[in-house]
Amino acid sequence: MKAKNLSDVLVYRKAINATNEISALLKRPAFRRDYDLSTQLSRSSSRVAALISEGFGQITDRQTADYYGRARGSAYESHTHLITARGREYIDDEELSKIGGEYIEITKMLTRWINYLQRCNWRQRGQPPDTNPDN
C-alpha cells in the first residue's frame, strides 16, 4: 500500500505513540529533578516523529532516506536514554522493555525503509527512476 499522507505511515504512528509514552514518564518527580536526562530524552523522542514527517515531505528517495536515517539515530538515542533512566532507577525493567522495545522496533522499520529507498533512488518520489542515460 502506498502511503498517501503521513497518517498512513505505520512507523510514524508508532513514533508518535512512543513520544507520548515518554512524555508521561517525564512527568515523574525523579525525571523533573534530572533536568539533563529529562531534556535529552524529551528532545530525542520528539525528533523521531518530526524527522519521519520531514522526510515524508522530501522529493527524492535519497533526501527521504537521509531524514529517516536521522530519525533512526534519534530512536537509538532515545533507547539509550531509557537505559540510563533504568540505571538511575527512574523506570523499571518492564517499562524499559516495553518503551525501549518500541524504539528498537522503530529502528528496524526505518532500517528496512532506508534500505529500500537507497536501492530505488528515485529522483522524483512516486515515479520510477529515469533509465535514459542521455538525461
Over 60: is that where the pLDDT of 127 sits? no
Model confidence, pTM? 0.87
What backbone phi and psi angles, to 5 degrees, belong to 89? 65, 35
Does residue 133 lie within any of the structural domains? no
Does residue 125 lie within any of the structural domains? no
The number of folded domains in the chain is: 1
* pLDDT one-digit tens code per residue, 4-37: 889 999 999 999 999 999 999 999 999 999 999 9
Q: Residue 132's pLDDT is what?
A: 43
- Full residue range of the structural domain in which residue 98 is found: 9-120
Radius of gyration of the chain measured on its C-alpha atoms: 17
pLDDT band at 3 (very low <50, low <70, confident <90, very high): confident
Q: How far is residue 45's CA from residue 124's CA, in Å, rounded to a whole number?
A: 30
Does residue 114 lie within any of the structural domains? yes
* pLDDT one-digit tens code per residue, 25-73: 999 999 999 999 999 999 999 999 999 999 999 988 899 999 999 999 9
Does residue 127 lie within any of the structural domains? no
Identify whether the C-beta of residue 67 lies closer than 8 Å to the C-beta of residue 58.
Answer: yes
Does residue 44 lie within any of the structural domains? yes
**CATH number, domain containing residue 95:** 1.20.1440.60
Cell 528515485 sits on residue: 122
